[in-house]
Amino acid sequence: MATSSSNSTANSRRKKVCKCGETPVLSTSWTDDNPSRRFFGCRNYYDGKPCNYFRWLDDEICDRGKIVIPQLRNENLKMKEDLLGTKEELLKMKE
């Protein structure tokens, strides 16, 4: 009987790998249809490699979310802009 040790542990924790052999990176979509929806994509995607690895992490955004989430995000961005503007004004006053 062969006593070669089993290699069954190799597959116990399969790592996600794209076609380039890279670990996919987690990103967030901000398109109209998928606001704030997270996905895994190939890290070389923006380097123009034809890998196209793509997998959603979150479930599809509900219709209500598609309307509300972008609104909240826009409001948030606007508030941040206002805050930056206010900070700059404060700094000018100190000078």
By the rule CB under 5 A, 41 interacts with Zn ion = no
Return the residue of 34, 41, 42, 61 that touches Zn ion, per CB under 5 A.
42
Distance CA 3, CA 6 (A): 9
Cα→Cα distances 22→14, 16, 17, 87, Å = 13, 8, 5, 42
Residue 23 CB, shortest distance to Zn ion, in Å, is 9
Is position 61 an interface residue for Zn ion (rule: CB under 5 A)? no
Q: Both tokens of residue 25?
A: 């990176």
The footprint of Zn ion on this chain (CB under 5 A) covers a number of residues equal to 6
Task: Between 34 and 53, name the residue whose CB sits nearer to Zn ion.
Answer: 53
Binding residues (CB under 5 A) for Zn ion: these are 18, 20, 42, 44, 51, 53
